[in-house]
Amino acid sequence: MKKYQNIILIILLAAVVRLAFITASPPSLYWEEAALGYDAYSILKSGQDLHGHPWPLVAFESFGDWKPSGYFYALVPFIAVFGLNEWAVRLPSALAGILTVWLTYLIVKHISKREAWAIWSSLILAIMPWHIQFSRAGFEVNLATFLLTLGVYCLILGKTRPGYLVGAMAAMVASMYTYHGLRILAPLLSGMFIIAGWKIYVKSKWFWISLGIGLILIIPIILAWNSPQIQQRINETSLFSTSLAVEMTNAERAADGNTLLARIIHHRYWFWGKEILAGSLSHFNPDFLFILGDHNNRHQTGFTALLYPWMAVPLLLGLMVIIFGRERRSWWLVGWILLATIPPALTNLTPHTLRFLPASPAMAMVIGLGMDEIWQWIFKRPRTRIFHGLVVLVVISSLTVYLYDLWFVYPKRSSQNWQYGYKEAIQAIKEDYYKDTPIMFTQTYGRPSIYALFYLNMDPKRIQQIEPQLPKSQGELLAIDNLTFGQPHPLPGMVVVSDVPLEGGALKQKIAFLDGKKAFYVYQY
Amino acid sequence: MSTNIKIALLIVIWVGLFLRLYRVGSNPVSLYWDEAAMAYDAYSVSQTGLDMQGNHWIQAIYPSYGDFKLPMYIWLTSVFMKLLGPTELSVRLTSVIAGTLLIGIVYLLGSHLFKSKTAGLFSAGVLAFSPWAIQFSRAGFEANLGLFWMTLAILCLVWSLKKPWLLSLVAASAAAGVYSYFSVRFVVPIVAILYILLNIRSVDKKFIIWFLAASIIFAALLIPIYRSPNYAQSNQFRLSTPSLLNTNEQVIQQNVNRELAGNTLVSRLIYHRDWFLLKRLAVNLATNMDLRYLFFSGDPNLRHGTGQTGLMLLPLGLFFFTGWITMFKRYWRQAIFLLGWWLAAIIPASIPLTLPHALRSLNALPVLALVIGYGVTVMWQSRFRWAKIIATGVLLLSLLSFSLYWHDYWQHYPERSAEAWQYGYEQLAGYLNTASQSYQAIYIVPADRLYLYLLFFMKIPPQMNMQKASNIQMKAVDEKTFRQLPTKSLVVLDLSLYNDYQQKIIPKAILNDFEGKPQFIVLEK
């Protein structure tokens, strides 16, 4: 038992920082989470999503944005046990986060004899703001990162025990069904391991069997590639569909007289190539990693970025040790981090905290290596205790300050970004809904209908039946029963939920964001 | 070997001179107003020994057109004005020569720091072909002259460990740098102290005496600037740009977060404004070290870069990484020295809020050249064949990348940047210079700082008020006034003013902007 004491404590720590106040910070369900929750509920009750598609395989239509199916199915058992609520929606992600911490320990322990490195790596991941943030809400990418890490662990184990290769295949394929970016990253990362260990893997029949099954299992994704299920996402976010490359290069070609040479030197592929490379490298900007993060308040607290600033030191040290030192065998950690920048680099928004998350376990292992180096180096110096104490002090104080902000202040700062207020507004009109009073609900904050489905716990079977007749924008419902979503036009007898004060009605309730700004006004006309 | 290096160095310097000097008067397409102001002051000094306001040429701060300029650039340029007459070439030649000599200095610096003439040569080559260096050497930028003196001072500094008397040259050269560009006063002392700390073991008594003497000389040489009657005003002018010193953003952040946290003692501590200020400074520093800025896009200001290339050629980015990584392993003192130099050079550029800024951070240029040059050398001299092959390939790619840059600089950059360089003012002044003799009075629509161009290109004798010296008045003439003007008058209008005439008067001449659209309309009566 003594042997496992450290890792058990770290897993407990990881669990506490991920699970404590999980429904209060982030303060409310974002609409993606509500959509994941309700569609999973729908599958549980009827075997169809809310649009009536039975058992979607590659992606759920949802708001017309076609979300990968993995998280929906992962949610089903949790909703079966806990019911349709915030806790159930967030739990799979939190558990995936905690398990990833454990996997990090297992991976390092397996590749090196250095127990201390393994402990540091898991500790670093346990307290890493980047990983905590995505473990505390229903983020598909966090579950996918867990699956990817599991896949890597099995691939490494598979070198000596080939049976694990089947597990590696299963985890990698599952990750591809869970998050868009992993459809690119999982094959790339597996490919890197397979090429590097070709001589070992190729001898085993399990390798060929799992490769074959894996290829068969991803056929649905390949077949769906040109359908809206995947193209929708590509059109919205891809660099190629949104950049100005074509216009710019055409203008310059014209200025050069459109000769063959001009066509070559002003070709859009150069432009795109540079953009992709710049986008990929932008994930290593120190201001992105250590100070600001990206500009989305849901992806980090805004007070702390992805990593604590002091982590810059062990990160660089860890990299140096991998490149020049004793851990040259662990080059694949660097490969993992570099490959993880490719999917976000293909999009139009870089650097991106969420899309880069699959690199976080590798990052933790590199930082953990650096921490271990520092720790061991202090052993060789005089006044060991003081310096060790200093390291511990830095770690604990930064974690404390971060958690204080995360648990108590961040929810107030970010409540509007998390769509705070919908739950309260739906509660406010609940009675009127059951009394069949006509209700108009503002659409200003986006996608209100999913919150009505979720918090009024509507029967999915009935929704599936009436869904074809309901007005929609893409996959988003614009009216359900006596509820209408849109710009409020009050008529006598109506209940109106507005985002701005209105004239003429009797104000029943005001709902505010957590920073005090007004979110909703509920009127009776 | 040694003669080969000498020949190669000569070639590099000559090519560097060519890249800086070739048609320097016509691209950048026009003098910017800072250049025009310095040109006229230099012309004035060369003709009369007095500046444009009639002050003696020996003064520490020139009032110029109200933005207060340091004297070194004007002094040196006045020599060329005497020799070559008042032309664009004379204004820019100072910068061209400073930029070319810098190549030689960087060679010596690289050879000394890395104990390898090859490293010096590659550093010099990188600098010679750097778009950043070329951009600022092809126009009258005081910062480029300041950079030359500063690097010369640092060269003497690294030599001074063996020959302490060189410290007196450090002081003189650094002072010359401060008289060229003010931020040098900040960079050199920091770099000097850092260098001495890093080599504290080689410091002897003689060195310390020379160092103290040099510090006193340096301080004494700067006294005239601080005691100049213009100092207070120039300081005020400099501090008036929006910067971290006069923003209150951190106070707002502090107050918002404290309020949300309930104004507890803890919240006062962790949301203190100084943290937010420090954070912002760190972000600004990171912006000036951003890879996208350094290797992909450069400064968006079209006078500071072409907008299509980074500060350094993109393929050289590879050597930037190998350079830093190997330097930290093999020459950690040099690595820390260069890192410190880089930081010291970008701190003055990180206080103002216009970011990133290639002009204010120009003092970092030799650092990048040296690191990349060292990176090339490491791979070039590697015992691995593949490293040599990659190095050769990337160098060829860099040459290709340079050709694309050079093509863009001559084919597309002039049009893109014409407005940024105030294209049109110089052309108008040139037109009036030939046309003005035959008119009694000339009325010119007031435009920002246009008079500087008229003074310089019409060779109006210094210290003469423009109205007294010539027949020119800066005055917008509308149609009604035009009809009352005496004959033999010439009127210059901009397009919007001329449109009010409703084409009742036929223009004598139309001066077009770079794209061929009418910019100035000339009417005759």
Measured between alpha carbons, how far is residue B133 from residues A114, B98, B148, B304, B369 in Å? 48, 11, 11, 10, 10
pLDDT score for A133: 97
pLDDT score for A226: 86
How far is B258 from chain A, CA to nearest CA, in Å?
9
Q: Measured between beta carbons, which residues in chain A are less than 8 angstroms from residue B270?
A: 401, 404-405
Flag if B411 and A255 touch (Cβ within 8 Å): yes
The Cα diameter of chain B in Å comes to 85
Distance CA B446, CA A286 (A): 47
State the helix-helix crossing angle for B184-198 and B205-227, rounded to 10 degrees: 170
Could you tell me the two tokens for A495?
Answer: 């209940």
pLDDT value at B458 more than 90: no
Which pLDDT band, with edges at 50, 70 and 90, does B1 fall under?
A: low
Which pLDDT band, with edges at 50, 70 and 90, does B441 fall under?
A: confident
pLDDT value at B489 more than 60: yes
- Closest by Cα among B134, B1, B185 to B408: B134
Q: What sections of A459-506 are H helices per DSSP?
A: 460-466
Contact assessment for residue B195 and residue B158, using Cβ atoms and an 8 Å cutoff: yes
Q: Which of B287, B325, B328 is closest, CB to CB, to A287?
A: B287
Give the model confidence (pLDDT) of B206-259 as tens digits: 999 999 999 999 999 999 999 999 999 998 888 888 898 888 889 999 999 999
pLDDT score for A228: 81
Categorise residue B73: left if φ over 0, alpha if ψ from -120 to 50, beta otherwise: alpha
**Position of tokens 């209150």?**
B248
Query: A165: exposed, middle or buried (C-beta count within 10 Å: 0-12, 13-18, 19+)?
Result: buried
pLDDT score for B470: 66
User: Residue A521 forms beta bridges with which residues?
Assistant: A498, A510
Q: Which amino acid is at A501?
A: P
Q: Which of B261, B286, B404 is closest, CB to CB, to A286?
A: B286
Give the model confidence (pLDDT) of B414-440 as tens digits: 999 999 999 999 999 988 888 877 788
| A289 DSSP 8-state letter | I
pLDDT score for A174: 97
Distance CA B480, CA A243 (A): 51
pLDDT score for A65: 87
Contact assessment for residue A6 and residue A101, using Cβ atoms and an 8 Å cutoff: no
Q: Does any CB of chain A come closer than 8 Å to the CB of residue B278?
A: no
ipTM of the complex, rounded to two decimals: 0.89
Q: Which of B282, B314, B404 is closest, CB to CB, to A291?
A: B282
pLDDT value at B466 more than 70: no
Distance CA A296, CA A351 (A): 11
Q: Which H, E and C letters describe B336-369, residue by residue? A: HHHHHHHHHHHHHHHCECCCCCCCCCHHHHHHHH
Contact assessment for residue A131 and residue A359, using Cβ atoms and an 8 Å cutoff: no
Q: What is the mean pLDDT of chain A?
A: 93
Contact assessment for residue B394 and residue B318, using Cβ atoms and an 8 Å cutoff: yes
Share of chain B above pLDDT 70, in %: 98
Instruction: Give the β-pairing of B472-474 and B489-494.
Output: unpaired
Distance CA B163, CA A28 (A): 69
- Mean local confidence (pLDDT), B495-517: 86
Q: Does any CB of chain A come closer than 8 Å to the CB of residue B412?
A: yes
Query: A344: exposed, middle or buried (C-beta count within 10 Å: 0-12, 13-18, 19+)?
Result: buried
- Closest by Cα among B440, B454, B444, B435 to B508: B435
Give the model confidence (pLDDT) of A210-269 as tens digits: 999 999 999 999 998 888 878 888 888 888 876 677 888 888 888 888 888 888 888 888
Give the model confidence (pLDDT) of A311-328 as tens digits: 999 999 999 999 888 899
Mutate to test the interface with B, among A285, A313, A401 (most CBs of B within 10 A): A285
pLDDT score for B469: 60
Contact assessment for residue B144 and residue B99, using Cβ atoms and an 8 Å cutoff: yes
Contact assessment for residue A480 and residue A449, using Cβ atoms and an 8 Å cutoff: yes
Could you tell me the two tokens for A525?
Answer: 């006309």
Give the model confidence (pLDDT) of A289-310 as tens digits: 999 999 899 999 999 999 999 9
Flag if B283 and A287 touch (Cβ within 8 Å): yes
Kindly give, in sequence order, each residue whose CB lies less than 8 Å from that of residue B98, ignoring residues fewer than 6 positions away. Answer: B137, B144, B145, B147, B148
Q: Does any CB of chain B come closer than 8 Å to the CB of residue A431?
A: no
Contact assessment for residue B160 and residue B44, using Cβ atoms and an 8 Å cutoff: no
Distance CA A65, CA A232 (A): 6
Q: Measured between beta carbons, which residues in chain B are less than 8 angstroms from residue A401?
A: 270
Give the model confidence (pLDDT) of A127-151 as tens digits: 999 999 999 999 999 999 999 999 9
Query: Is the pLDDT higher at B430 or at B77?
Result: B77
How far is A315 from chain B, CA to nearest CA, in Å?
13
Distance CA A219, CA B368 (A): 49
pLDDT value at B505 more than 90: no
Distance CA A86, CA A25 (A): 11
User: Residue A286 forms beta bridges with which residues?
Assistant: none
What is the b/e burial string over B436-465, where b = at least 16 CB atoms within 10 angstroms of the residue's CB? beebebbbbbebebbbbbbbbbbebebeee
Distance CA A248, CA A251 (A): 5
Q: Which amino acid is at B313?
A: L
Q: Measured between beta carbons, which residues in chain A are less than 8 angstroms from residue B261?
A: 408-409
Mutate to test the interface with A, among B254, B265, B270, B378 (most CBs of A within 10 A): B270
Could you tell me the two tokens for B507?
Answer: 């223009």
State the helix-helix crossing angle for B317-330 and B385-411, rounded to 10 degrees: 130
Distance CA A344, CA A319 (A): 22
Q: What is the mean pLDDT of chain B?
A: 92
Could you tell me the two tokens for B64?
Answer: 């110029």
| A60 DSSP 8-state letter | E
pLDDT value at A194 more than 80: yes
Give the model confidence (pLDDT) of B107-135 as tens digits: 999 999 999 999 999 999 999 999 999 99
Q: What sections of B67-183 are H helices per DSSP?
A: 72-84, 88-113, 117-128, 131-137, 142-159, 166-178
Give the model confidence (pLDDT) of A55-108 as tens digits: 999 999 998 889 999 999 999 999 999 999 999 999 999 999 999 999 999 999
Distance CA A176, CA A343 (A): 13
Which pLDDT band, with edges at 50, 70 and 90, does A398 fall under?
A: very high
Could you tell me the two tokens for A467?
Answer: 């869904």
Contact assessment for residue B128 and residue B19, using Cβ atoms and an 8 Å cutoff: yes
Q: Which H, E and C letters describe B458-490, residue by residue? A: CCCCCCCCHHHHCCEEECCCCHHHHHHCCCCEE
Q: What is the CA radius of gyration of chain A?
A: 25
Contact assessment for residue B333 and residue B198, using Cβ atoms and an 8 Å cutoff: yes
Instruction: Give the β-pairing of B472-474 and A479-480.
Output: unpaired
pLDDT score for B10: 97
Start-to-end C-alpha separation, chain B: 73
Give the model confidence (pLDDT) of A266-280 as tens digits: 888 888 899 999 999
Mutate to test the interface with B, among A243, A261, A306, A405 (most CBs of B within 10 A): A405
pLDDT value at B314 more than 60: yes
Q: Which amino acid is at A144?
A: A
- Closest by Cα among A353, A365, A361 to A133: A353
pLDDT score for B434: 83
Which pLDDT band, with edges at 50, 70 and 90, does A462 fall under?
A: very high
Could you tell me the two tokens for B387?
Answer: 């490293």
Query: A204: exposed, middle or buried (C-beta count within 10 Å: 0-12, 13-18, 19+)?
Result: middle
Distance CA B251, CA B266 (A): 17
pLDDT value at B143 more than 80: yes
Q: Measured between beta carbons, which residues in chain A are less than 8 angstroms from residue B291?
A: 278, 281-282, 284-285
Contact assessment for residue A190 and residue A353, using Cβ atoms and an 8 Å cutoff: no
**3-state class (DSSP) for residue A49:** coil
Mutate to test the interface with A, among B249, B255, B276, B279 (most CBs of A within 10 A): B279
Per the omega criterion (within 30 degrees of 0), is the bond before B28 cis? yes
User: Residue B491 forms beta bridges with which residues?
Assistant: B443, B523
Distance CA B410, CA B22 (A): 11
- Mean local confidence (pLDDT), B1-5: 81
Give the model confidence (pLDDT) of B182-202 as tens digits: 999 999 999 999 999 999 999
Cα A439 to chain center, whole Å? 34
